[in-house]
Amino acid sequence: MFDLKSRVAVVTGGSRGIGRASAIALAAQGAHVVVGYASGEAAAQEVAGVISAAGGSAETARLDVSSSDVEKAIAEIAKRHGRLDILVASAGISIDGLLLRLKDDDFNQLFAVNLKGAVYSSRAAIKSMMRARFGRVILLSSVVGEMGNAGQTAYAATKAGLVGVAKSLAREYASRGITVNAIAPGFVETDMTRALTDEQRKGILDAVPVGRIGSAEEIAAGVVYLASEEAGYVTGETLRINGGMYM
Ligand code: NAP
């Protein structure tokens, strides 16, 4: 598909779901992938194992994005490899609940991981991308950030926020050869959506013209495109991969 040979990619939240599929897809195109995790070290190692077994190159790194310490960890990775070309900020959590029941702690945690975590990761990555005058930053937003969803006010705020982050960073760093884009997936089969009830699933499927939930691999295909040399004229964009749920 696209040639990512000699590229070094960091994927936060690479241990599971969309991050996992993205790590595997980037490696399949030749990138060396750093599979980031917070608590799932074994899962991250499994992903690195899948990549190696397929002839690719990967390592794992604890990258807990809820603290700005993640910046040091990403800087260290960039220094060790002498470059960092691609950042996929897929680390994310969802805590659902109607606004009147939403706890401050939940609100703070969602912002810390989903929004601040992506900004910290971007800051560290962009620092080393600037020197190389090349970079691809891909932030995982959500259809919910664009449409809203009852019971997901705080989650939606973090995901809408990422669109603003992508557009602002795109403007700041376009002249340095760095593109910054968001991907807004619809409902994708991962641990995050596995907890949905049958009734919730039916409600979602009724709203998806394609008539099914998406796969992590379908999101990863968009990640690979945005990470490619060929996507150099795409920046500040939000790529919707949602089965037509929102257009
Ligand atoms: P998932 O399967 O629940 O996986 C979440 C990932 O985030 C895991 O790798 C987890 O790592 C990592 N993570 C959680 N807290 C972290 C922290 N503090 N620091 C670093 N990593 C952390 O989620 P997913 O469905 O793949 O979602 C990936 C991204 O896509 C998220 O940003 C999500 O909001 C977004 N998204 C998902 C969907 C969907 O339908 N699934 C739709 C739209 C957008 P550990 O396991 O190592 O802790």
Which pTM was predicted?
0.98
Task: For residue 83, name the pLDDT band (cuts at 50, 70, 90).
Answer: very high
The string of DSSP letters for the chain reads ----TT-EEEEETTTSHHHHHHHHHHHHTT-EEEEEESS-HHHHHHHHHHHHHTT-EEEEEE--TTSTHHHHHHHHHHHHHT---EEEE---------GGG--HHHHHHHIIIIIIHHHHHHHHHHHHHHHHT-EEEEEE--HHHHH--TT-HHHHHHHHHHHHHHHHHHHHHGGGTEEEEEEEE-SB-SHHHHT--HHHHHHHHHT-TT-S-B-HHHHHHHHHHHHSGGGTT--S-EEEESTTS--
For residue 17, report the distance from its CA to the centre of ligand 1, in Å: 7
Which residues form ligand 1's pocket by a CB distance below 6 Å?
A: 12-13, 15-19, 37-40, 43, 63-66, 90-93, 113, 117, 140, 142, 185, 187-188, 190-193
Closest ligand 1 atom to Cα of 13: 9
Q: Tell me the catalytic residues.
A: 155
Q: Residues 110-163: pLDDT tens digits?
A: 999 999 999 999 999 999 999 999 999 999 999 999 999 999 999 999 999 999
Closest ligand 1 atom to Cα of 65: 19
User: Which pLDDT belongs to residue 167?
Assistant: 98
User: Which pLDDT belongs to residue 201?
Assistant: 87
Q: Residues 17-61: pLDDT tens digits?
A: 999 999 999 999 999 999 999 999 999 999 999 999 999 999 999
